[in-house]
Amino acid sequence: MRRSMVFLLFLVASVWFGVEVIRHPGYLLLVYQPWMVQMPIWFALLSLFVFFVLFYLIIDFVGQVEFLWFRFKNWLYIRREHRSYSKTQQGLSALIEGRWKKAERLLLAGVNQSFEPLINYLSAAQAAHEQSAYDRRDHYIQKAYQVAPNADLAIGLTQAKLEMKQDQLEQATATLNHLRQVSPRHPRVLKLLEKVYVRLADWKNLQSILPDMRRAKILTSEEYVLFEKNIYCEIFRVSSNKRLSDIRLIWAEIPRYLKKNPDVVCAYVTQLFRHELVTGTDTTKEIEGLIRKILKHHWQPDLVKIYGSLQFANLNRQLVIVGEWLKMYGQRPEILLTLGKLCVRAQLWGKAKDYFGKCLAQGANAEASLEYGRLLERLGESNEALQKYREGLLQLSGP
C-alpha cells in the first residue's frame, strides 16, 4: 500500500513538473568567452542528474576495483604464508624424524616467505648441529639474534642446549649465566645450569643456584635438602687431595642440620680416616665421636665399617659400644664383621670366629672371608684359611 502511494505521488509530481516545463520552459545561458551555450532549464536539470548518476557509477566502479585489488593482495599474502607454513611444517616434521639435511633445506626455504622466521633459524641450527656443521649452526644462531633481538631467552636456551650436546660446557655455562642475568629465576635456565654444573662437577656453583631453584619451585623443601646433602657428599668425595685443615673448613661451613645427616657425616669421616692413614694424623677421637653420635639415632653401615678399622687403645670399651649397636639394629653384617675384627685384636679367637661365621651366614662378604681366613691362618688352620681366602678373592673378582 505504501509503495503504491509513493508511486502515485511520484507520478503526479512528474506530470505536474512536465506541465510546468511546457507552460514555462525557461532557458539557461552559459557564457565563457568566446563560447556561449543556451539550453532549456529542463535539459540542464536532466543533464545535471545524468552527470551525478555517472559520477556515482564511476566512484562505485573505482571502489569495486580497489576492493578487488585488496582481495587479490590478501590472496597473494595468504598463499605465500601458506607456502611458508607448509615448508616450515615439513621442515619441523623432518627434524623430528631425524632427516637433518632435508629439515635444514625446508626450514631455510620457509625463512624468506615468513614474517616470523625465528623458529626456522633455531630449528635449522639444530639440524646443522646434528650434521656436525657447527659453523652453519652458529651462523643460524646469529641470524636468529638479528631477526628477533628481543628473544634472548629462546635463542640462548637453544644455543646452550646445542653447546651442551657438543660438550662445550664452559661456553654453555657462559651462555646460561648471561640468561640468568636477564631472568634470574627462569626454571629452564636453572635446570640447564644444574645439568652443566653436575657434568663439570662444579659443586660450589651448583650449591649457589639451589636457593633460586627452590624459589622458582623447581625443588621442594625435601628435594632441596636431598640436593644439598648430595652436594656436600660430593664435595668431600673430591677432596682427597686437600689438606686436613681445608676439609675441616668445609665441615665448618656446612649448615647445622646437615651435620646430623648420616651420609654427610660419613663423607666427612671418610676423609678424616684417609688422612689418618696417609699422614698419621690422629683423628680417631673426632671420628669416634661423630660415628657414635650418628649411630645413636640413625643406621649407617659405612660408619660401622670405619669404626671397625679405627685403632683403639681400649678395645673392651669399643666391644661394649658395638655390642649396643647389635642390640639396637640386630645382627647386621657390618656390625658382626666389626665385632669380629675387634675380637681378633683383643685376641678373643672363639668370639671372633663366631662373629665371622654369623656374618658369612647372612651372605657372601669378601672382607669377612678374608678376615676369617687371616684368623684361621693365625690359629694354624691352614686348609680352612686357604678356603676362606679363595672365597674372598672370588667375591672380589666378581661373577
pLDDT tens sequence across 264-289? 999 999 999 998 888 877 888 899 99
Specify which residues 124 forms β-bridges with.
none
- Asked whether residue 79 carries a pLDDT value surpassing 60, the answer given is no
- Asked whether residue 387 carries a pLDDT value surpassing 50, the answer given is yes
Query: Which amino acid type is present at position 338?
Result: T
pLDDT digits (tens, 9 = 90+) for 334-354: 999 999 999 988 888 889 889
Stronger pLDDT, 30 or 302, i.e. the higher one? 302
Alpha-carbon gap, residue 203 to 27, rounded angstroms:
107
CB burial string 381-397: b at 16+ within 10 A, e below: eeeebeebbebbeebee
Stronger pLDDT, 218 or 25, i.e. the higher one? 218
In the chain the first and final C-alpha atoms are separated, in Å, by 110
Percent of the chain at pLDDT > 90 equals: 34
How many CB atoms lie under 10 A from the CB of residue 105?
17
> What totals of helices (H) and strands (E) does the chain contain, helices first?
19, 2
Alpha-carbon gap, residue 100 to 110, rounded angstroms:
15
Contacts of 272 (CB under 8 A, 6+ apart): 244, 247, 283, 286, 287
pLDDT at 26: 67
